[in-house]
Structures are given as structure tokens and as C-alpha cells.
Amino acid sequence: MFEISAALAVTLVVVLAAEFVNGWTDAPNAIATVVATRVLRPHHALVMASLLNAAGAFYGLKVAQTIGQGIVRADVITLPTIAAAMLGIIVWSTLAWWRGLPTSESHALVAGLTGAGLAFGGTEVLLWDGWRKVLIGILFSTFLGFGGGLLLMVLIVRLFFNARPETIRRWFGKLQMVSAAFMAFSHGSNDGQKFIGVFTLALLLGGVIPEFAVPAWVIIVCAATMGVGTAVGGWRIIHTMGLRLTKLEPVHGFAAETAAALTITTASTFGIPLSTTHTISTAIMGVGATRRLSAVRWGVAREIVMAWVLTFPAAMGIAWISTKLLMAIFR
């Protein structure tokens, strides 16, 4: 009994460590544009993001259920398998954060669970239903993010064609506070739930709960951990997303945040885990492209896309190796 409790305690700590890393690599996306346009000061934006991320995590639990029950078979994997999956996320995401690159914690999480599951039990551990939703999420984040940002920006330009620049800045400066709040809430509704799902899965495997049902305290603990991570290391990602990718004014920030938040909230409603990083990144690119293609710094965009591409094999490989090592140590 003591060994099981110790294994569970270590696994939960590692899950929270991965959630902490999620805070400094992914959650800053929710406030990057509102900080870049100077509509909100960084500390004010951080407080808003932390509170609304936590509120968004209570927006249903379909994403948590997809991650906790739809990626790998809970009746086959073990607590060390989950711990190894989290190590894949922590190592890869920390390396990307050091370079200032926003990684997708969604893809790192799915890849980590997959790599650990394959190392432990082979292909029969994987569940197609969750992977199907992940693939749908990739399409959502890429095409709806870019297309939504571009179309919304075109609509705004046509509606406010004759308005003075200072008038547009004043109006959309106020509106962007609303869109930033919406973006933070939507981030919590999707990304905030993913590690909640893994935490709950660990409780199930550890015998603490009899079935997969998310306790309220788990949501609070995970949301708070993510908020602390954002406060500690979020500025690197805010700098890349808000300042390096393209020049943003409040109207551009409003369009990008609104398009991304609508896409993310829709996905959360259907339990589709998507990458909030991809969604806001492509939305910013779409908004920037409405001025001219050269307005987007495609060199920076290429670095971000490369981090996306490498996330699956890197997180999966680290988790696979970690699982094999743990299996050898505790055989």
C-alpha cells in the first residue's frame, strides 16, 4: 500500500510539474497580444489570464475526458507510464521555451502519452477515438485560426474604412480587453482541462477514485499551478507571439483573439483537444496577412512551425525512452 501511495504521489507531482511548464510555455498565448499592443500592463494581464483560465477550466469537462479516457487504455497503463509521459512534455517544452518558441502542450501531451503507452504495452494501448479528435483539432487550429483572423480583420477594415486611426485605436483598445478576457477563458476551457484529465487518470490508477470523475479540487489545483507557471516564465513566449511575429495594433489584437477564442471554445464544447498555440499563432498570421504578406515575419513563423512539427516525435521519443528506463529500474 505504501509503495502504491508513493508512486501516486510522485506521479501527481510530475503531472503538476508538466502543468507548471504548460503555464510558462502555452498559457502566455492568451495574453500575448493584449500586452504587445499595450492595452494592458503585463501584471494586470497576468492576473486576468490566471483568473479567467481557472474559470474556463470549469467550462464542461469533455476535453478532460478525451485526454483521460480517449488516448490510451486506462486498464493497461500504470502510474510510471503517466510519469514518463509527463517527462516527455517537461523536457521538450523547456528546451523550446529556452529558445522562446511557443510549443503545443496539447500535441506534447498526446505524444507523451502515446510514446509511454507504446513502450509499455504496444499499439493495443492506443485508442482511436481520442486520436481522431486530436486530428480534427489540428485542422481546427490551423485553418479556422488563420481564416478566422483574416476574415474578421477584412470585415473590420470594411466597416471602419472611413474612421480615423485614433478613433479605431480608442474603440478597439477597449474591445481588446474583452477579447483578451475571452481568449483567456477559452484557453482554460481547452488547455486547462488537459492536465486535469491526466491528474484524474492518475487518481483512478492510484485507487483514490473508483471511476473517472473529476473532483473540483483537482481543477483548482491544476489551474493555480498553470497560473504560477505563467507568472514565472511567460514573458519569453509573450515576446515571440506579440512582438516578433508581426506588428500589432489593438484592432489586430482584437481580431486575432476573437477568432482564436471562438475556435477554441467551439472545440471545447465538442471535447476536441486542440493546440491553443497553433490557434492564436495562425490567427495572428491571418490578421497580419490582411495588410500584406510581408507584414508577417515569416522567418519567425517558420521557427514556430518547426517547433510544432518536432513536438510529436520529440515528446513521444523522450516519453518512450523514459518508460523503458523506468521499466528496467522497477522490473
Q: What is the pLDDT along the chain (331 residues), one digit of tens a residue?
A: 434 568 899 999 999 999 888 877 766 666 777 777 777 777 787 788 778 877 888 887 899 999 999 999 988 888 989 999 999 889 888 887 776 666 777 888 999 999 999 999 888 899 988 888 988 988 888 889 999 999 999 999 999 888 888 888 888 988 988 998 998 899 888 888 889 999 999 999 998 999 998 998 998 898 888 877 776 755 555 655 545 555 678 888 899 999 999 999 999 999 999 888 788 888 988 887 787 655 556 666 676 677 777 888 999 999 999 999 888 876 6
Q: Domain locations in the chain?
A: 2-329
**One-letter amino acid identity for 253?**
G
Q: What's the CA gap between 65 and 199, in Å, rounded?
A: 11
Question: How many helices (H) does the chain have, and how many strands (E)?
Answer: 14, 0
| pTM score | 0.83
In 209-312 the beta strands, taken as DSSP E runs, fall at none
CB burial readout 286-297, b (16+ within 10 A) else e: bbbbbeeeeebb
